A and B are shown apart, each in its own frame.
Chain A
Amino acid sequence: MTDDPFERDLRSALANGVPMAAPASLRAVVLETPSARPLRSVLARAAVLAVAALTVASVAVLVGYATTRPADVGGRGGSDPAAIRWQTRTVSFAATSLVIDAGSQRFFGSPDSIVSSDPGSPTYTTLEVIWREHDTEMRLNFYLAADETTWWVSEIRTYDGRPMGEIPGTAGSADWITYRGTFFRTPLGEPFVGDVDLSSSEGHVAGRLRIEDLSLSFTPLSLSSMEGCRPAISVPPPGDGPIGIQRGGVDPELGLDPSMTPHEVGARLRDLGSAIRTDTSSLSSTPGRSGAGSRTGRSGSSCMEARARFSSSSTRSEPRPRRPRS
């Protein structure tokens, strides 16, 4: 225990009024669980095909990114429609180009991005993207908010391109450039569509953020989308775009992790003795070994049926998204 009276009093002030034990109601929280058959029965059935990674509490999805990069610093991030797509359970981002100016450096993004969201609540979520460019880490964060009728972005942050140091904010260490305001206010349920050109001096270096043909949408987290659901899910054939995000819970028997790539999902399913098929139109379960497939949801269930969303531009030649290894 410290001899510093300040620390003693601080600890005492923090603990003041805090009960020693949690209320009994918290120990009695009802944990709703979709009925699940034991894993053995899944294997024994041999008639089940399973599919894409889904939501549990958090999902990270890699994005297709245009292979075309500008040859000069003034170029666009890509000429293909929707060259950039970032998708999580709560946020959808698509744009034809992204340019981040941080001091004297310019960043365009990378196919090897880690995309994630704080699923937050019906009134808050984030979109957080991390990648390496110019041999340093860049981050782009959107902080989204909503009220009863509209949603907006309350803050955007990027890293400032400086090298990572021990303590941010100290000389030479990477820190944030912050763009504050009420951006993209849009009625709930609708996407924001437009171009973005923002500047900020809130940081060690000046920043500018330009996004062309942005389509940004906020799907607030809803508890009703998570309960008691055995969804039908499907995965695109190998080589196709990113896995879409679906409403509803994942069957825990499958042992699928929401952060898995399609390849990892397929490997897991093969471990279970299942297979994937290319036919995604049928919801029937069929044994076999080819392509991508689907799994039957419970008929008559009140669950929301899960639907995969694929990259809309399957004709683009873009690199297959890879999950970066930490």
Chain B
Amino acid sequence: MPLTKEPIALEGTVALEQPVPLEATGDRERSFRRLLDAHLDRSYGLATVILGDRSDAEDATHDAIEKAWRAFGDLRSPERFESWFQRILINVCRDRRRARRPQLPLPDVESPGARQPLLPSHERDLALRTAERDALERALATLGDDQRVCIALRYFLDLEIDEIASRLGARPGTVKSRLHRATAHLRAAYDAAARRDPEGVR
């Protein structure tokens, strides 16, 4: 199946209309920090979701802040700051994921055919939810970079397709395709876990 990876477009080329007027250095820094502060929590959260590790996310966000500051003059419209900054951040996160060693597959929570002890009904519901969540988390860990980023933008930041496409420099159709494949993969794992009976009978 052909890949749908789109090239990550150039940082800072989201420029649209009139350039941001030149300011004295102090004003520029204040403007940058004000914009950054407004979007930092969500952006850091996004990095944490993409990288799956707070420490990595902090490093990645730090790198993205430095890159964004250097490129701040390219930003034509302050209203685009969040999209622009997160685009830089996503690039940094993707690079970190590429540089990672392959991770060992997560161990199965239960081996095939294992029987679970009989639980009270409310605990069976809880166990079922936990099993589905575990299956989701395992399936999330197997997603490729592009799909993981799309899932994070859609279901963590609750962005619409066009907003996701803007952050990725991709076409909306590409985003739809990636999301479709990713959610199909996740839902399959989720549904499979839901079909398992906590009593261990399949």
Residues of A within 8 A of B95 (CB): 120-121, 123-124
Q: Is the CB of B41 within 8 A of A21?
A: yes
Q: Confirm or deny: B40 has a beta carbon within 8 angstroms of a beta carbon on chain A.
A: yes
Interface residue tally for chain B (C-beta within 8 Å): 68
Measured in the bound complex, the distance between the Cα atoms of B137 and A161 in whole Å is: 38
Measured in the bound complex, the distance between the Cα atoms of B2 and A203 in whole Å is: 6
Contact with A along B18-37 (1 / 0, CB 8 A): 01001011001100110001
Q: Is the CB of A176 within 8 A of B5?
A: yes
Please give the distance in Å from B80's CB to the nearest CB on chain A. 15
Measured in the bound complex, the distance between the Cα atoms of B44 and A14 in whole Å is: 13
Residues of B within 8 A of A249 (CB): 70
Q: Is the CB of A166 within 8 A of B98?
A: no
Q: Confirm or deny: B9 has a beta carbon within 8 angstroms of a beta carbon on chain A.
A: yes
CB contacts between A and B, total, < 8 Å: 187
Q: Looking at the complex, which one of B44, B74, B132, B171 makes contact with A23 (CB distance below 8 Å)? A: B44
Within residues 175 to 199 of chain B, which ones have a CB less than 8 A from any CB in chain A? 176-177, 183, 186-187, 190-191
Contact with B along A55-96 (1 / 0, CB 8 A): 011111000000000000000000000000000000000000
Q: Confirm or deny: B73 has a beta carbon within 8 angstroms of a beta carbon on chain A.
A: yes
Please give the distance in Å from A197's CB to the nearest CB on chain B. 22
Measured in the bound complex, the distance between the Cα atoms of B93 and A139 in whole Å is: 24
Q: Confirm or deny: B124 has a beta carbon within 8 angstroms of a beta carbon on chain A.
A: no
Residues of A within 8 A of B152 (CB): 14
Residue of B nearest to A121 (CB): B95
Q: Is the CB of B74 within 8 A of A26?
A: no
Q: Confirm or deny: A38 has a beta carbon within 8 angstroms of a beta carbon on chain B.
A: yes
Q: Is the CB of A23 within 8 A of B22?
A: no
Q: Is the CB of A139 within 8 A of B7?
A: yes
Measured in the bound complex, the distance between the Cα atoms of B5 and A116 in whole Å is: 17
Known: A123-B99, A167-B177. A29 touches B13 (CB 8 A): no
Q: Confirm or deny: B164 has a beta carbon within 8 angstroms of a beta carbon on chain A.
A: no
Measured in the bound complex, the distance between the Cα atoms of B69 and A226 in whole Å is: 11
Q: Looking at the complex, which one of A60, A176, A223, A226 makes contact with B2 (CB distance below 8 Å)? A: A176
Please give the distance in Å from B194's CB to the nearest CB on chain A. 8
Please give the distance in Å from B10's CB to the nearest CB on chain A. 4
Residues of B within 8 A of A171 (CB): none
Residue of A nearest to B8 (CB): A118
Q: Looking at the complex, which one of A20, A33, A124, A141 makes contact with B25 (CB distance below 8 Å)? A: A33
Residues of B within 8 A of A175 (CB): 2, 4
Please give the distance in Å from A131's CB to the nearest CB on chain B. 14
Measured in the bound complex, the distance between the Cα atoms of B9 and A164 in whole Å is: 18
Please give the distance in Å from B18's CB to the nearest CB on chain A. 11
Q: Is the CB of B190 within 8 A of A39?
A: no
Q: Confirm or deny: A44 has a beta carbon within 8 angstroms of a beta carbon on chain B.
A: no
Q: Is the CB of B176 within 8 A of A167?
A: yes
Q: Confirm or deny: B62 has a beta carbon within 8 angstroms of a beta carbon on chain A.
A: yes
Q: Is the CB of B19 within 8 A of A255?
A: yes
Q: Is the CB of A26 within 8 A of B58?
A: yes
Q: Is the CB of B32 within 8 A of A31?
A: yes
State which of A4-12, A182-190, A238-246, A287-295 sits at the interface with chain B: A4-12
Please give the distance in Å from B77's CB to the nearest CB on chain A. 14
Known: A15-B156, A29-B65, A203-B2. A6 touches B177 (CB 8 A): no
Within residues 47 to 86 of chain B, which ones have a CB less than 8 A from any CB in chain A? 48-49, 54, 58, 61-62, 65-71, 73-74
Measured in the bound complex, the distance between the Cα atoms of B108 and A171 in whole Å is: 38
Please give the distance in Å from A4's CB to the nearest CB on chain B. 9
A-B contact list, 18 entries, CB within 8 Å: A13-B133, A13-B137, A14-B151, A14-B155, A17-B54, A22-B40, A22-B61, A29-B62, A31-B65, A33-B25, A39-B22, A57-B68, A128-B9, A168-B171, A175-B4, A176-B4, A250-B73, A255-B19
Please name 10 further chain A to chain B contacts, defined as beta carbons within 8 Å, in addition to the given A13-B133, A14-B151, A253-B22, sorted by A numbering: A13-B136, A14-B49, A14-B155, A22-B41, A23-B44, A36-B25, A118-B8, A252-B22, A255-B22, A259-B13
The 9 closest A-B pairs by CB, nearest first: A57-B71, A22-B44, A58-B10, A116-B10, A167-B173, A57-B11, A58-B11, A14-B156, A166-B173
Binding site for A on B (CB under 8 A): 1-5, 7-13, 15, 19, 22, 24-25, 28-29, 32-33, 37, 40-41, 43-45, 48-49, 54, 58, 61-62, 65-71, 73-74, 88, 91-92, 95, 98-99, 129, 132-133, 136-137, 140, 151-152, 155-156, 171, 173-174, 176-177, 183, 186-187, 190-191
